[in-house]
Structure 1
Amino acid sequence: MATDSIQYDVLAREALRHVVREVLELARREGLPGEHHFFITFQTTAPGVSMSDDLRGEFPEEMTVVLQHQYWDLEVTDEQFSVKLAFGGVPRELVVPFKAVTAFFDPSVQFGLQFTANLVGEEEPTPGPAEVDMSEDDKKPDEPGEVVSLDAFRKK
């Protein structure tokens, strides 16, 4: 289908997803530097998501994982990432396409991206702050964090 306008929202969303991909690739190659760690939320029903049936039963729509101390075999491709995490002491492998990711947050620097996806059709272009319930160990610093939002650039 031809369009007579440039879809900046789609281009920007894909560029922001590329940021998530690059950060995970850096973690794969070099490990997590300093206090960096990631909360990654994704839709468990999205095409291409692979997880055990018991995890899918526990998280039928959405799941947030934390990559911090105990994760193994992180692999990153252009389209997806896979990782092994322990759930109740049992290692499980997750395969998550980047298009299934709805939020990415690094509390060590208060950086977050949020994506709203519609599994039936195209994604809605709404990057914004990630809503993540942080534990006591991850209290926010006094200074404000940086959140990238496209709302300021949208045509009204």
Structure 2
Amino acid sequence: MKYTVTGTAVTFGIGQRLKLSAAQIDARRHVLEIDDEDKGSVMATGLVTFKRGEELGLEDKPEELPRTVSDVLTPSSSVPSSEKRKSDNAKSGKAKSGKAKSETPDLDELEARLERAEKAFKDAMERHGISIAKEPTAEQRELIKAELDELRAAKLAYDEAVGD
């Protein structure tokens, strides 16, 4: 069943089966196991977030969804076309006047920044032989300080933009 995110954002955890567009798969490929790319059938291997206005497919019926999810998702057939136009304008970054909204953060850009920071942090941990399972020593923290600082800044910027 197709759903539209009508809340600020929705996040799914590991193991969630989804049907996504090619663009959605490309943007989140690092946290997806692709079952059938042509059909958009995927499974989350990490946390996957979708912002207001995005459409996605779930096997669950609306009454089967957890409340935290059903509060921010609406079956696509129930979303008024005016609401879809608003989300389309938000995606393109244009207001009714046709001008770009400079005061609204670009969630795609913030999400991409967060993904880059997560990858850089993971790579730095591997490069220095630091295990995620144990608390790093002061010396180890110093080796990954720049990547950790960027990861924290990217996460903070993204969370502020989506209202977490």
Higher strand residue share: 1
TM normalised by structure 1 equals: 0.25
Q: TM-score, normalised by structure 2?
A: 0.24
